[in-house]
Amino acid sequence: MKNCDEIKGYMLDQVLGEVLPRDIEVELRDHLSLCPSCRRQFEEYEVAWRSLDGLKDIRFPESISLNVLRQVAAKPRVIRFLGWSSPRWRFLALAAAASLLLTAGIYILLQSGSIVDQADQPTSISSASTFVPGEVSMPDLKITMDSYLNETGNILYGIREGSYSSWGSILSEIISRDIQGRSNFLLESVDLPPHSRPVIGVLHDAFQQILRSGRGHEKDEVRLPPGINPEALLAEIEKARCEVMIVQ
């Protein structure tokens, strides 16, 4: 027969909903029937555990689920991108995503720096894909700054707020959007504020970090394909960076 101290652990296990071995369960029941002190304690544990019932009343808005459904309905699976057998396709998509991420950062810069310097800054963005024409079918979109922001608002907000868990997840998101052909663009005809340079550097470093690790930061999600030469990809990113710098 177990003493009160020994029985306490089983008492807690049972309150917590664990299934006890049959013999222990019988022993616990017998003990509680004979020991008023333990019985009282057991009841207190039950009351304490039930006091958390309020947690079950927590309700979150349905919009959270709807956002998920909207996104999966709008986008093809990432796995289709990852599953392409040709490394060249993946190389191209990664390179395009790199330039898109650079552009997203630059756009934030433009927004934050344009109040004083560029009150008359043009608000249209012309599409200019880094994909090789004919190899990847992408719609050539003409979108306004506002519509782009509406489209990518969550990404920009997420980057700003540090909501994304990694550069890989930002990259993954942008790749997904790019596969849709929605954010296939580069900025044109806008002057970059001088303080854009450090940020371009930061973004560039982030990609280097991804490349150095030999795969995307997110395991199995944004992976550098085995057949891809990291130097070549870096060069592509550099090229995208140069395109941006030329605009400046």
Partner 1 sequence: MAPTDEQLIELCKEEDVSALDELLKRYRNPLMGFIYSVIRDYHQAQDIFQETFIRVYREARRFRTGAVFKTWLYTIAINRCRDAIRKKKRRPIISLDTEWAGSDGEPGQRIMDKVASADPGPREEAGCRELEEIFQRELLGLSDEHRQVVILSRLNRFKYYEIAEILDIPSGTVRSRLHYALEELRKRMRT
Would you tell me which residues interact with partner 1 (CB under 8 A)? Answer: 9, 12-13, 15-19, 41, 44-45, 47-49, 51-52, 54-62, 64-65, 67-69, 71-73, 77-79, 108-109, 111-116, 146, 149-150, 153-154, 156-166, 169, 193, 195, 198-199, 202, 220-221
Closest contact distance (angstroms) between CB of 144 and partner 1 is 12
Residue 22 or 59 having the CB closest to partner 1: 59
Q: Which residue number, 117 or 140, has a Cβ lying nearer to partner 1?
A: 117
Contacts of 84 (CB under 8 A, 6+ apart): 90
d(CA 248, CA 236): 19
Which residue's CB is nearer to partner 1, number 40 or number 142? 40
Question: 169 in helix, strand or coil?
Answer: helix
Least distance to partner 1 from the beta carbon of 95, Å? 22
What is the b/e burial string over 121-131, where b = at least 16 CB atoms within 10 angstroms of the residue's CB?
eeeebebebbb
In angstroms, give the least distance from the CB of 229 to partner 1.
27
Nearer to partner 1, 129 or 222 (CB): 222
Phi, psi angles (nearest 5°) of residue 144: -90, 165
Residue 126 beta carbon to partner 1: minimum distance, rounded to whole angstroms? 20
CB of 99 to partner 1, least distance (A): 19
Q: Considering the complex, what minimum distance in angstroms separates the CB of residue 96 from partner 1?
A: 20
State which residue, 123 or 229, has the beta carbon closest to partner 1.
Answer: 123
| Token pair in block for residue 6 | 């020994």
- Residue closer to partner 1 (CB basis): 173 or 236: 173
Is residue 191 within 8 Å of residue 244, measured between CB atoms?
A: no
Q: E strands within the chain?
A: 124-126, 142-144
Q: Is 220 left (phi over 0), alpha (psi -120 to 50) or beta?
A: left
Burial 10-30 (b: 16+ CB within 10 A, else e): bbeebbeeeeeeeeeeebbee
